[in-house]
Amino acid sequence: MTETALDWHAEVFATLQAEGITQVCHVPDAGHSRLIKMCEEDNAMSTVTCTTEQEGIYALAGAYLGGAKGVMLLQSSGVGNIINALAMPNTCRIPLLMVATMRGEWGEFNSWQVPMGQGTPGSLEAMGVRLIRVDNPEEVPMAVKAAARLAFDGEQMVAVLISQKVIGFKDFRELAK
Amino acid sequence: MSDLHRRDLVIELLKDRPKDLLVVSGLGSSCWDLANAGDVAENFYVWGAMGGAAMIGYGLARAQPQRRVLVLTGDGDMLMGMGAFATIANNPVQNLAIVVLDNGRFGETGGQPTHTSGPADLAGIAKAAGIPTTATIAKQAEVEPLKELALKTPGPVVAVVKVVYEDLKFVLPANSGSYLKDRFRTAILGEDAA
pLDDT for B13 equals 96
Q: For residue B156, give the CATH number of its domain.
A: 3.40.50.970
Residue B135 lies in a domain: yes
Which residue of chain A is at minimal alpha-carbon distance from B59? A59
Q: How many domains does the structure of chain B reveal?
A: 1
- Ramachandran class of B166: left when φ > 0, alpha when ψ lies in -120 to 50, beta otherwise: beta
What is the C-alpha to C-alpha distance for residues A77 and A92, in angstroms, rounded to an integer?
25
Residue B33 lies in a domain: yes
Residue pair A140/A11 in contact (Cβ under 8 Å)? The answer is: yes
Average pLDDT over residues B182-193: 95
Say yes or no: A58 contacts chain B, CB-CB below 8 A.
yes
| Cα distances (Å, whole numbers) of residue A116 to A11, A16, A71, A120 | 28, 27, 21, 6
Percent of chain B with pLDDT over 70: 100
Q: Which of A49, A58, A68 sits opposite B55 (nearest CB)?
A: A58
A3-167: in CATH 3.40.50.2300: no
- Between chains, do B63 and A88 touch, taking CB under 8 Å as contact? no
Q: When comparing pLDDT for B108 and A57, which is higher?
A: A57
Q: How far is A88 from chain B (nearest CA, A)?
A: 6
Say yes or no: A156 contacts chain B, CB-CB below 8 A.
no
pLDDT in tens, A136-159: 999 999 999 999 999 999 999 999
pLDDT in tens, A87-108: 999 999 999 999 999 999 988 8
| Residue numbers of the domain that contains B19 | 6-193
Query: What are the structural domain ranges in chain A?
Result: 3-167
What is the C-alpha to C-alpha distance for residues B165 and B53, in angstroms, rounded to an integer?
21
Q: How far is B128 from chain A (nearest CA, A)?
A: 15
pLDDT band at A170 (very low <50, low <70, confident <90, very high): confident
Average pLDDT, chain B: 96
pLDDT for B192 equals 87
pLDDT in tens, B104-127: 999 989 999 999 999 999 999 999
Residue B91 lies in a domain: yes
pLDDT for B163 equals 97
What is the C-alpha to C-alpha distance for residues B11 and B143, in angstroms, rounded to an integer?
11
What is the C-alpha to C-alpha distance for residues B79 and B75, in angstroms, rounded to an integer?
6
pLDDT in tens, B47-57: 999 999 999 99
Residue B1 lies in a domain: no
Say yes or no: A68 contacts chain B, CB-CB below 8 A.
yes
Q: Which of B44, B48, B90 sits opposite A65 (nearest CB)?
A: B44
Percent of chain A with pLDDT over 70: 97
Q: How far is A133 from chain B (nearest CA, A)?
A: 28
Long-range contacts of the stretch A37-42 (C-beta < 8 A, 24+): A38/A9, A38/A10, A38/A13, A39/A13, A42/A13, A42/A17
- Between chains, do A23 and B63 touch, taking CB under 8 Å as contact? yes
Residue B47 lies in a domain: yes
Q: Are strands B96-102 and B157-162 parallel, antiparallel or unpaired?
A: parallel
Residue pair B28/B72 in contact (Cβ under 8 Å)? The answer is: no
**Residue A5 pLDDT exceeds 80:** no
H-helix segments, chain A: 3-18, 33-41, 53-65, 76-79, 87-92, 114-126, 140-152, 164-167, 172-176
Residue B113 lies in a domain: yes
pLDDT for A96 equals 98
pLDDT for A30 equals 86
| Cα distances (Å, whole numbers) of residue B164 to A67, B54, B107 | 37, 22, 11
